[in-house]
Chains A and B, each alone.
Chain A
Amino acid sequence: QAVVTQEPSLTVSPGGTATLTCGSSTGAVTSGHSPYWLQRKPGQAPRTLIYDINKKYSWTPARFSGSLLGGKAALTLSGAQPEDEAEYYCFLCYGGPWVFGGGTKLTVL
């Protein structure tokens, strides 16, 4: 099965902008992969923020946005808040099977 890659860690200043990326070992990430982004905080169940590249749920803060960027899926956080410190996982759909990336630990500091 494919391998999905993410930055292991990123640091962003409060109020700053961070861009997390999600690549595929099979080539460019496209709309066909329906990229998802999830937020994971310690002791909590995962919370899905973005689906199908850039679609949001009612609970997704407006400061989060999704896109395709340079052959990868991207999650952009504009105006980082301390509560955004978490692990962020992307996953991609390969027909039936899905594959998660290894996660990016985002530090707001």
Chain B
Amino acid sequence: AQSVSQHNHHVILSEAASLELGCNYSYGGTVNLFWYVQYPGQHLQLLLKYFSGDPLVKGIKGFEAEFIKSKFSFNLRKPSVQWSDTAEYFCAVTDSWGKLQFGAGTQVVVTP
């Protein structure tokens, strides 16, 4: 069975700092990769996704992620965070059947 591992459960950083959240998955076949974000009190929203092609994908709100196949990783980055980026971030993977497997999530707190 596939699994998804997010490296940090909690991250606290100051505004303008750079953010990188690690995500590794275990699955040998073709995968589709996602990062979702959940702002306090809001819906789960899609930040970005990777299906194929350029392994560096850009999403909304200045986020990007890099797929490194050899490392089974899909790390999320943002060069300069804002207070409004405070949220919980989830990495997720689907196999060819479309079942989503989520990581445990990383709570990110950005201090002013």
Q: Do A and B form a real pair?
A: no
